[in-house]
Amino acid sequence: MNDFAPVEGRRVKLTTLGCKLNQYDTEMILSQLRAEGYQETVRAQEAELIVINTCAVTETAERKGRAAIRAAFRSNPRAKIVATGCQAEKSPQALLTQGASMVIGNREKERFSSLIVGTESVVAGGIRDGVDWRDGTIVSGLRGRVRAFLKVQDGCSQYCTYCIVPKLRGSGRSLPVRAAVRRAAELVDQGFQEIVLTGVALGTYGFDFGQEDALCGLLLELSKVRGLERLRLSSVEPWAVSNRFLEIVGFSEVICPHLHLPFQSGSNEILRRMNRRYSVDDIRKSLDFAFSLREDWGIGADIIVGFPGETSSHFNETLSLVKDTRIAYLHVFPFSSRPGTPATKLGAPVSSDEIMERANVLRELSRTSRTEFHNRLVGTEVEVIPENRGSQNYVFGHARNYADVALPRGLAETGKIARFIVERADSEFVYCRKHPKNYEAA
């Protein structure tokens, strides 16, 4: 185990692997450390403290976590290397053998800055159900971003047969509406015009309150926060996409018409084996209703390929669903067996070659779907927040429906909402010119 050997400047290097919730948690950790006098650095060699926020949703994610710890140790063996995140819950001792000085579990991140001065090598006592949500650190937005993430839900009680997350983040629990509204208002006061709601299973928000439609109420209350221009959902499970939900989102002037749906498969048989709480017909009906409300939705989806027992016929059902429903883009995940989950016992394994072939087919379909989505926007008006990223000639941003937008440099101010006209499109971006009634939000 490494010694905690301070160097001049109290600098910290942070690495985040995995989901948007981990990005939020890293920012929460950074907020705590800044309060203790730390400054962030991108160079491991000059850091007194190196924090690696790990993921364990797939074996590939775990390999990346272990590799990140080894790389940090090679770069700076004097630093205190702290591993946290889901892999810290799953296999803390294994992370110590890779070079971590200390391992801190998911439920201990809220007191991260006080724990790192301790002498324990592992502070990950296991997930405890029934623990109240901690109303702790307010995150000051994501570094270099024009939007801020707001975590309103953590954990999961759904127990999909392929997923290890409930064992690593505990049962589902929700931030009370009043606390969520307060945090949103503070982020708006810091200057953020867009807030992205995030959680492990956002569609189960409020289930721990005994309210299965609580997400709708939360959206309505957050929409009233003064000065909030955009409210976006990071991902929401298909069972939460009721007609009432779609009407709230579809008719709102604040909530973005963008949904990311982890529907995972287009086969009812595979969905049943996955223990998902909806059918293909439910997905089709929801999307048909959504597009009856408005035409400019941006709808993405997560798909798992190669789930045990998935045949070519099952896969073709997934292809048909994507082709028939105006999905704008896909995130494709080859099936990864997770220890302690029942999925591998539910069907014959699919060969790795077949999994890769199916994944490539879906990724090519995603490129086609994204091009079609972008082409539908040519000639229309889009509202964009230019971001702190781009190329030599363009600044990038997102439209309300999450279309990727490329703006000629100098056309608008970073972080300020403005209107543009879409002139052309390809699979990556819609390219815009300035709207004659361009404006900056107050």
* Domain-embedded: residue 268: yes
* Domain-embedded: residue 333: yes
The reply to whether 239 and 271 lie within a common domain is no
The reply to whether 364 and 428 lie within a common domain is no
The reply to whether 168 and 247 lie within a common domain is yes
Beta bridge partners of 272: none
Alpha-carbon distance of 216 to 201, in angstroms, equals 15
The predicted structure's pLDDT at residue 344 = 84
The predicted structure's pLDDT at residue 389 = 79
Alpha-carbon distance of 112 to 4, in angstroms, equals 16
The domain spanning residue 292 has which CATH number? 3.30.750.200
Q: Which residue has the tokens 């099936």?
A: 335
| Boundary residue ending a domain (69, 93, 123) | 123
Phi and psi at 251, nearest 5°, equal: -100, 0
Q: What is the pTM of this model?
A: 0.87
* 417 in Cβ contact with 398 (< 8 Å): no
The domain spanning residue 197 has which CATH number? 3.30.750.210
* Domain-embedded: residue 425: yes
The reply to whether 372 and 385 lie within a common domain is no
Domain count, the chain: 4
The predicted structure's pLDDT at residue 7 = 42
The reply to whether 401 and 350 lie within a common domain is no
* Domain-embedded: residue 22: yes
The reply to whether 148 and 242 lie within a common domain is yes
The reply to whether 117 and 91 lie within a common domain is yes
The domain spanning residue 48 has which CATH number? 3.40.50.12160
Kind of pairing between the strands at 11-16 and 381-390: unpaired
DSSP character string of 254-313: SB-SEEEEEEE-S-HHHHHHHT-S--HHHHHHHHHHHHHH-S--EEEEEEEE--TT--HH
The reply to whether 418 and 385 lie within a common domain is yes
The reply to whether 74 and 22 lie within a common domain is yes
* Domain-embedded: residue 439: no
Please give the single-letter amino acid code of residue 50: I
pLDDT tens by residue, the chain, 442 residues:
344 444 446 899 999 998 888 888 998 899 899 888 999 999 999 999 999 999 999 999 999 999 999 999 999 999 999 999 999 999 999 999 999 999 999 888 888 988 888 777 887 655 554 444 555 555 555 555 678 999 999 999 999 999 999 988 889 999 999 999 999 999 999 889 999 999 999 999 999 998 888 999 999 999 999 999 999 999 999 999 999 999 999 999 999 999 999 999 999 999 999 999 999 999 999 999 999 999 999 999 999 999 999 999 999 999 999 999 999 999 999 999 998 899 988 989 999 999 999 999 999 999 999 999 999 999 999 999 998 777 888 999 999 999 999 999 888 888 889 999 999 999 999 999 887 665 444 3
Alpha-carbon distance of 393 to 87, in angstroms, equals 40
* Domain-embedded: residue 134: no
| Boundary residue ending a domain (62, 95, 123) | 123
Alpha-carbon distance of 86 to 76, in angstroms, equals 24
Environment class of 370 (CB within 10 Å of its CB; exposed 0-12, middle 13-18, buried 19+): buried
Alpha-carbon distance of 442 to 440, in angstroms, equals 6
The reply to whether 177 and 119 lie within a common domain is no
The reply to whether 294 and 213 lie within a common domain is no
| Boundary residue ending a domain (227, 256, 285) | 256
Buried b or exposed e, range 168-191, using 16+ CB within 10 angstroms: bbbbbbbbbbeebbebbbbbbeee
Expressed as residue numbers, the domain containing 327 is: 262-376
* 60 in Cβ contact with 54 (< 8 Å): no
* Domain-embedded: residue 4: no
The predicted structure's pLDDT at residue 130 = 45
Which of 347, 4, 417 is CA-nearest to residue 192? 417
The domain spanning residue 391 has which CATH number? 2.40.50
The reply to whether 369 and 428 lie within a common domain is no
* 29 in Cβ contact with 51 (< 8 Å): yes
* Domain-embedded: residue 310: yes
